[in-house]
Amino acid sequence: MFTDRMSNVLDLQQRLERHGYIAERSLAATLLLTLEMRRPLLLEGEAGVGKTEVAKALARLSDTRLIRLQCHEGLDVHSALYEWNYQHQLLAIKLLEQDDRPLSSKEQDIFSERYLLKRPLLEAITTTPAPVLLIDEIDRTDEAFEAYLLELLSDFQISIPELGVIRALERPIVILTSNGTREISDALRRRCLYHYVDYPDFGKELAIVRAQAPEMPAKLAQQVVEFVQAVRQLDIQKKPGIAETLDWAAALLRLGVSTFDEEGIDRIMDSLSTLVKTRDDQAGFTRPVVERLAAAC
């Protein structure tokens, strides 16, 4: 016997699954809260646990556009919010010289939306129906840029000196992701809901592999996931994420592996490069190690 709320959460979870994202129930509950309250959601977690996919699935699910802002060091207002189209403005000034209209109306013309280049953030708040705005890897920007985001994320408005304040027509669904490259400011955290995305447990990962690689035999899928889960327990530099699991599963399928026997282990050794991605880690994966891991699956 579930409460109404719980059935809503389960419903959202199922709809996410139909759109290709397998979420735990707790994540579904958080997403429901995000959708209802239209508050930004900050997702943290290791690389490759499917943070970005959440936004994509949400966009598919609500059948809206996904607007993505990939953050990088040195990202500034011009490439994230808006920029005036200066070349066109200059042309327009030249053309308007012959015009007899008063100066003030010319000026209004030049600083009108026609000459405004919308960058992702401005686009997100002026689009209807409300899109999903994905601000990816927010930790890669610098603190100055975070400060620009504050106005957007708390009031959903952007002030442009020449035009005035542009308010969101509809509040977009905002998803921020971070790998913890840099500590994000408390001011930004306070404005967001928070969810930590962990590496998936066995059941979830198996469900993901089955969903993404349906042609894989059930027994092999199980072994693959068990192997990857065991690899994550090891003391290695770069733990494989879900993306790596899927790559590896695809590689094994292509190499024609059906079970983890003697020949299967040869194939595993061949395809390890999809799973283990630093030199030191690869040096650690000798044949005996792989055999031991495979035997346990």
Residues binding other proteins (CB under 8 A): 2-6, 9, 25-26, 29-30, 33-34, 36, 41-42, 44, 74, 76, 84, 86, 89-90, 93-94, 97, 143, 179-183, 186, 189-190, 192-196, 235, 237-238, 280
Say how far apart CA 212 and CA 20 lie, in whole Å: 8
CB nearer other proteins, residue 82 or residue 248: 82
CB nearer other proteins, residue 241 or residue 264: 241
Q: Minimum CB separation from other proteins for residue 154, in Å?
A: 12
Q: Minimum CB separation from other proteins for residue 256, in Å?
A: 35
Degrees to nearest 5, angle at CA 43 with 238 and 36: 160
What number of CA atoms fall less than 13 Å from residue 28's CA on the CB side? 19
Q: Are strands 193-196 and 41-44 parallel, antiparallel or unpaired?
A: parallel
Say how far apart CA 62 and CA 217 lie, in whole Å: 33
Q: Minimum CB separation from other proteins for residue 255, in Å?
A: 30
Q: Minimum CB separation from other proteins for residue 30, in Å?
A: 4
DSSP 8-state class, residue 261: S
Output Rg (C-alpha) for the chain, integer angstroms. Answer: 24
Q: Minimum CB separation from other proteins for residue 127, in Å?
A: 25
Say how far apart CA 273 and CA 279 lie, in whole Å: 10
Q: Are strands 173-178 and 66-70 parallel, antiparallel or unpaired?
A: unpaired
CB nearer other proteins, residue 42 or residue 216: 42
Exposed/middle/buried for 135, CB within 10 Å: 0-12, 13-18, 19+?
buried
Q: Minimum CB separation from other proteins for residue 76, in Å?
A: 8
CB nearer other proteins, residue 3 or residue 233: 3
Say how far apart CA 243 and CA 33 lie, in whole Å: 27
CB nearer other proteins, residue 90 or residue 289: 90
Say how far apart CA 174 and CA 171 lie, in whole Å: 9
Could you tell me which residues come within 8 angstroms of residue 205 by beta carbon, excluding any fewer than 6 positions away? 225, 228, 229, 242, 245
CB nearer other proteins, residue 183 or residue 261: 183
Q: Minimum CB separation from other proteins for residue 238, in Å?
A: 8
CB nearer other proteins, residue 143 or residue 261: 143
